[in-house]
Amino acid sequence: MNIIGHWINDEVIIKENSRTQAVYHPSTGEIGAQVALADANTTQDAIAAAQEAFATWKTITPMRRARILFKFKELLEQNIDTLAELIGKEHGKILHDAKGEIQRGIEVVEYACGAPELLKGEFTKNVGSEIDSWSDFAPLGVVAGITPFNFPTMVPLWMIPMAIVCGNTFVLKPSEKDPSAALFIAKLLHQAGLPKGVLNVVNGDKEAVDTLLSDSRVQAVSFVGSTPIAEHIYRTASAHGKRCQALGGAKNHAIVMPDADLDNVINSLLGAAFGSSGERCMALSVAVTVGQEMGDKLINGLKKAMQTLKVGAYHDNDNHFGALISQAHKQNVQAHIDSAERQGANIVVDGRNPHVAGYENGFYVGATLIDNVTPDMDSYRAEIFGPVLQVIRVDTIAEALILINQHEYGNGTCIYTQDGGTARYFCDNVQAGMVGVNVPLPVPVAYHSFGGWKRSLFGDLHIYGPDGIRFYTKRKTITQRWIANKESAIFSMPTL
Ligand code: NAD
């Protein structure tokens, strides 16, 4: 069977007797390949390759680095079908959705192409008499990225272009569940002219990650994944003196006000709750309806609209969403639906164990709608990460805000209303990092930065955009005087 290896110094590395793990095709339930799981030595080889490459790469001008990314963008566009196919096969998402994820990744590459402007620094002439001061932004060295299964291209592209264009070298540890897209990206960057060792990919699990977290050559770690692992990564990386940003899980609420445009709410909730099988950290998984009447109207409207939804194999673009990542995750999602039912919620549309003709062994769960959910239910507190929309009914926006603000996660949220004052009140008082007003998935564009609050992000800086530049560089401030007039000794604190 095909073994998926690592990418170190521009070569595919497969070591004999390496541990391996099955990579599934979720649409069919079959095993497609085995992925090699790097041990500490292999991971150290990748770090060494990155360390060696850094000595030269940091001296390459930002414009030249950006030119490689321009070429890389072209290659991503030319190869979008191949890349989408790799994603669809190993992740299960439908090709149209896979292409959307690639496009969002390309947008970060485009932003990173602006490096000469972004790294220009800050300059002030005459901070004191005949004294000038400037800050420049130096690369950190070897930096690592650890990424989740749900966006096998986009999330690595949140990190790699930003890190390398700033002059760092990179070791990526992608998800072992769908590793092929990351390797394909590495080969495209090589084709674009990236020098060897600047980007290395090690496949693996905890052993590879723990090596990255403890090796003193790694200066910074970007992580995206579930909250318990994000917390572990942040604590361990920080304890080893590394800079770290660790993005975690989510439970994103949409408040539906009594004046909301119902058709618009229904259409956008369908995509935001069930797109990519709900396996998005920005998926809207809870609708909070304000007022009994809106609650009833929304449930009836969604119930009807959901009849048209099609779950199925990744390569049929008529399908709205595909399989979940694994059989274990399918069981986990269904267990959450069981638990909501047991604890008194009303399963309005039941997607458990759907029949997908021709793909009976795929890991499918159909779109599920649950009404009368209450905050004490386990299914409400957990991140389900499946095609499940839960509805909570409240009487006022104040109650809705309390729900969101008391939840452990604070990634994304949105409000549907036609009232500007209500929208403003919501934006001012909601505790979440990414907020939408009549926008269900308020994912910041590449020239802003992405990140949540509370236990959805450990660290200070958000990912990509302006925060990405700051995360992957360290500031040096130089204050300079060329003396025209000699000055006498000063013993009090200099003031300028
Ligand atoms: P995960 O936490 O299981 O895995 C993420 C990465 O961590 C993988 O590379 C994995 O190999 C590694 N890992 C897993 N267990 C580890 C351990 N014990 N020690 C060290 N490394 C370990 O997450 P996942 O299931 O791949 O992805 C889904 C999760 O990611 C969801 O919770 C989702 O909300 C979250 N996510 C968050 C964002 C965001 O921007 N906040 C974006 C995408 C996904």
pLDDT digits (tens, 9 = 90+) for 262-301: 999 999 999 999 999 999 999 999 999 999 999 999 999 9
Half-sphere exposure of 113 (CA within 13 A, CB side): 14
Contact 24 CB / ligand 1 (< 6 Å): no
> Is the per-residue pLDDT at 5 higher than 70?
yes
pTM of this structure: 0.96
pLDDT in tens, 333-372: 999 999 999 999 999 999 999 999 999 999 999 999 999 9
Ligand 1 atom, smallest distance to 174 CA: 9
Catalytic residue list: 281
pLDDT score of 3: 96
Q: What percent of the chain has pLDDT over 70?
A: 99
Whether the CB of 247 sits within 6 Å of ligand 1: yes
Residue minimizing CA distance to atom 36 of ligand 1: 225
Mean pLDDT of the 122-134 span:
93
- For a ligand 1 pocket test, name from 221, 234, 251, 281 the mutation site with the most ligand atoms within 8 angstroms of its C-beta: 281
Distance (Å) from CA 212 to ligand 1 centroid: 15
Residue ranges of the chain assigned to CATH 3.40.605.10? 3-248+456-478
pLDDT, residue 493, reads 82
Over residues 194-238, the pLDDT tens digits come to 999 999 999 999 999 999 999 999 999 999 999 999 999 999 999
pLDDT score recorded for residue 485 = 66
Contact (Cβ atoms closer than 8 angstroms) between residue 251 and residue 285: yes
Q: Is 193 left (phi over 0), alpha (psi -120 to 50) or beta?
A: left
Nearest of 307, 392, 326, 316 to residue 365 by alpha carbon = 326
382 pLDDT above the threshold of 70? yes
Q: Residue 413 above 80 pLDDT? A: yes
Distance (Å, whole) CA 273 – CA 434: 16
Q: 224 CB under 6 A from ligand 1?
A: yes
Give 20 Cα–ligand 1 centroid separation in angstroms: 19
Give residue 482's pLDDT.
Answer: 86
pLDDT tens by residue, 478-494: 999 987 767 778 888 87
- CATH fold for domain 3-248+456-478: Aldehyde Dehydrogenase; Chain A, domain 1 (3.40.605)
- Identify whether the C-beta of residue 281 lies closer than 8 Å to the C-beta of residue 314: no
Distance in Å from the first CA to the final CA of the chain? 70
Exposure of 2 in the CB half-sphere (CA atoms within 13 A): 9
The reported pLDDT for the residue numbered 492 is: 84
Predicted confidence at residue 488, as pLDDT, reads 77
The residue contributing the CA closest to ligand 1 atom 16 is: 206
Instruction: Choose one of 224, 409, 464 to mutate for the ligand 1 pocket test, by most ligand atoms within 8 angstroms of C-beta.
Output: 224
pLDDT at 465 over 90: yes
Q: Which atom of ligand 1 is nearest to the CA of 325?
A: 25
Q: How confident is the model at residue 129 (pLDDT cuts 50, 70, 90)?
A: confident
Locate CATH 3.40.309.10 in the chain. 252-437
Q: List, as one string, the DSSP characters of 309-363.
A: --B--TT-TT-SB---S-HHHHHHHHHHHHHHHHTT-EEEE--SS---TT-TTS-
Ligand 1 in reach of 212 Cβ (< 6 A) = no
pLDDT 10s digits, 227-242 = 999 999 999 999 999 9
The confidence score (pLDDT) of residue 483 equals 79
Ligand 1 touching residue 206 (CB < 6 A): yes
Ligand 1 atom with the smallest distance to the CA of 176 is 11
Write down the pLDDT at residue 298. Answer: 98
- Across the chain, mean pLDDT equals 97
Q: Is the pLDDT of residue 7 over 70?
A: yes
Phi first, then psi, for residue 48 (nearest 5°) are -65, -40
**What is the rounded average pLDDT of the residues 174-184?**
98
Assign a CATH topology to domain 252-437: Aldehyde Dehydrogenase; Chain A, domain 2 (3.40.309)
pLDDT value, residue 165: 98
Q: Is 226 in the pocket of ligand 1 (CB under 6 A)?
A: yes
Ligand 1 closest atom vs CA 233: 20
Tell me, using a 6 A CB cutoff, whether residue 249 lines ligand 1: yes
Q: Ligand 1 centre from 80 Cα, in Å?
A: 25
pLDDT in tens, 50-77: 999 999 999 999 999 999 999 999 999 9
Question: Which residues is 477 bridged to in the sheet?
Answer: 135
Give CA–CA dist 147/159, Å, rounded.
9
Q: At residue 90, does pLDDT exceed 90?
A: yes
